[in-house]
């Protein structure tokens, strides 16, 4: 009976609005990217997609909400690396990132940027490196919670520079960026989607692109490797999941809608303006997201466990 009911629902899918959970606060990179894909996928599916920001505990509260939802395709999760890292960080996570979800596909890949409040006392990257090494304990580093992308980037930065900043966690880098612009915190290592527009609008200062490559949107800004800081590199990829057990015909429709969305010229152009790339359509598939999650769990979780980083 239950199976027959699910099959009937799958045939009609989608017959009512879909909820896309973004487990970080409004105004951050995840929120911006989720709203962009919700808009594009709703055109493909012919049904409204409502974004639900259930934020907190580095995305694990919103993720748990999706794991507990009915597996009918009407509740989806857009998330990045914290889907992998939270397993290493939180002792009693109420879900398993692999066993409780069906991957739909990857959506984006984007670099990260080291930014500071506008009156941070360093004029360029060379000055910044000297200043932060000499003053680390007095410097506050905002991030989106233990296990978030900005936290990972901050950890890698502290590791590469051999310093320890004063960490200030937020429910997302949206509110963290607001405080950085207001001068309440000193530094952030964040995705480019919110930071590049804020740097261009002179609301914050950028010191370096993380990794080996400069950003096309800020070509005059050096990459951190140009200053001799090696091995500090991270990119962030968002992906879309449904709860485990979502019927195959529904999964197929969601994957097709995601694949069409990553080739949508408007989506691509709006992402590019934020320094982010839409993945090619063959990566907007379940196998590609499953493989990427495994890669992140294998490569990052042992690193975090070794570093002794725990949220609770």
Please report, as ranges, the residues that interact with ligand MLT according to CB under 6 A: 24-25, 28-31, 80, 82, 144, 148-150, 172-174
Minimum CB distance to ligand MLT smaller for 29 or for 103 = 29
Q: How far is the CB of 132 from ligand MLT (least distance, A)?
A: 20
CA dist 99 → 22, 225, 253, 271 (Å): 20, 38, 21, 31
Helix axis angle, 248-262 to 2-12, nearest 10°: 30
Minimum CB distance to ligand MLT smaller for 145 or for 247 = 145
Angle at 67 between CA 53 and CA 89, to 5 degrees: 80
Minimum CB distance to ligand MLT smaller for 172 or for 211 = 172
Q: How far is the CB of 164 from ligand MLT (least distance, A)?
A: 19
Considering only CA atoms, which of 133, 307, 138, 143 is closest in space to residue 236? Answer: 143
Q: How far is the CB of 282 from ligand MLT (least distance, A)?
A: 25
Q: How far is the CB of 230 from ligand MLT (least distance, A)?
A: 23
Minimum CB distance to ligand MLT smaller for 73 or for 174 = 174
Q: How far is the CB of 123 from ligand MLT (least distance, A)?
A: 27
**Nearest-angstrom CA–CA distance, 211 and 223:** 6
Q: Determine contact, residues 54/62, Cβ cutoff 8 Å.
A: yes
Minimum CB distance to ligand MLT smaller for 31 or for 186 = 31
Q: How many CB atoms lie within 10 A of CB 305?
A: 12
Considering only CA atoms, which of 297, 276, 298 is closest in space to residue 107? Answer: 276
Tokens of 8: 């009937």
Minimum CB distance to ligand MLT smaller for 30 or for 247 = 30
Looking only at the bridges linking them, the beta strands covering 187-191 and 112-117 are antiparallel
Minimum CB distance to ligand MLT smaller for 28 or for 286 = 28
Q: How far is the CB of 206 from ligand MLT (least distance, A)?
A: 16
Q: How far is the CB of 6 from ligand MLT (least distance, A)?
A: 32
Q: How far is the CB of 195 from ligand MLT (least distance, A)?
A: 11
């Amino acid at each position: 009976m239950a199976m027959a009911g699910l099959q009937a629902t799958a045939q009609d899918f989608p017959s009512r609005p879909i909820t896309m959970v973004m487990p970080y606060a409004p105004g951050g990179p995840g929120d911006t990217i989720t709203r962009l894909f919700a808009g594009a996928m709703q055109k493909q599916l012919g049904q409204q997609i409502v974004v639900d920001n259930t934020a907190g505990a580095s995305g694990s509260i919103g993720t748990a909400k999706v794991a507990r939802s009915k597996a009918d395709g009407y509740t989806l999760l857009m998330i990045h690396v914290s889907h992998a890292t939270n397993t290493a960080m939180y002792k009693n996570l109420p879900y398993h990132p692999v066993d409780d979800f069906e991957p739909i596909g990857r959506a984006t890949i984007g670099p990260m940027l080291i930014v500071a409040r506008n009156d941070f006392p360093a004029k360029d990257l060379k000055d910044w490196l000297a200043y932060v090494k000499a003053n680390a304990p007095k410097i506050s580093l905002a991030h989106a919670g233990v296990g978030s992308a900005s936290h990972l980037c901050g950890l890698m930065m502290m590791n590469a520079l051999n310093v320890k900043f004063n960490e200030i966690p937020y429910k997302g880098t949206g509110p963290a960026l607001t405080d950085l612009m207001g001068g309440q915190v000193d530094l952030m290592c964040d995705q480019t989607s919110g930071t590049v527009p804020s740097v261009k609008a002179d609301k914050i200062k950028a010191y370096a692109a993380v990794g080996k490559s400069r950003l096309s949107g800020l070509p005059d800004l050096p990459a951190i490797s140009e200053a001799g800081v090696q091995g500090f590199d991270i990119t962030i990829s968002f992906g879309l999941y449904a709860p485990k057990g979502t019927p195959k015909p529904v999964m197929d429709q969601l994957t097709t809608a995601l694949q069409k969305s990553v080739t949508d010229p408007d989506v691509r152009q709006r992402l590019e303006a934020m320094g982010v790339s839409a993945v090619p359509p063959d990566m907007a598939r379940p196998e590609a997201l499953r493989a990427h999650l495994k890669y992140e769990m294998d490569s990052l979780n042992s690193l975090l466990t070794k570093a002794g980083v725990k949220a609770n």
